[in-house]
Amino acid sequence: MLLHLKNVLTAAQVTEIREALDQADWQDGKLTAGNASRQQKSNLQLSQDDPLARKLGDFILHTLSQREDFMGSALPAKIFPPMFNRYEGGGQFGFHVDNAIRQVPNTPVKVRTDLSMTLFLSEPEDYEGGELVIEDTFGTQAIKLPAGDMVLYPSTSIHKVNPVTQGARVSSFFWLQSLVADNEQRRTLYQLDQSIQGLRQDLPDDERIQNLIWVYHNLLRQWSQTN
């Protein structure tokens, strides 16, 4: 399932974050790449130990925790702290697949990467190229969203970032371990939840809604993994 979440951040929040990031101490992105992807990667990243990265990451996670569409679609169990990258001057990241397990820095916590997320912090017209290209069962998608919007997609997908030939593409990227590891089961639950919410608006007194809620929670109970 590929999902576009609109207006995760307001324009004012994007501006404030960009002003802070434009003054940040960026490092070579190869420092955090695995052996297989290091040769494919040409970008800049903010160190995970940078206080600014932690501050902005905490703000993004708090904002997402308030969104029903994020919580209902992702069903997060554990989230790897948001990271930040910058592509410019031809920077790119060739086709690769994300690592299956990531350890949160300076902790024993390991996160299975079920879903990958990119939160765009540059307007599409501010840079040339830089599309996030994702290949999966839903076909090939080239994604370039407005600043403040976010895309979620299965971490099993092969994906790349096209070369940025003009301007700068700044974004936050991170991963989560879902309560429901299977993508198809997670999509089924999300579609069922969306149907329930729609029926609640159109037919608030229909007793059959309770039966659908019963189905949803029992499926979640069967399919979820809490550790």
Minimal CA–CA distance to 173: which of 69, 41, 68? 41
Enclosing H/E stretch for 218? helix 208-223
Domain that holds residue 77: 3-178
Minimal CA–CA distance to 213: which of 226, 200, 227? 200
pLDDT score of 205: 86
Q: In whole angstroms, give the CA distance from residue 19 to residue 26.
A: 14
pTM: 0.93
pLDDT score of 35: 60
pLDDT score of 227: 72
145 plus 159 within the same structural domain: yes
50 plus 150 within the same structural domain: yes
pLDDT in tens, 120-168: 999 999 999 999 999 988 889 999 999 999 999 999 999 999 999 999 9
Question: Are the C-beta atoms of 180 and 223 separated by less than 8 Å?
Answer: yes
Q: What is the number of domains present in the chain?
A: 2
Coil/strand/helix, residue 129: strand
pLDDT above 80 (res 207)? yes
Q: In whole angstroms, give the CA distance from residue 178 to residue 53.
A: 23
Enclosing H/E stretch for 211? helix 208-223
24 plus 129 within the same structural domain: yes
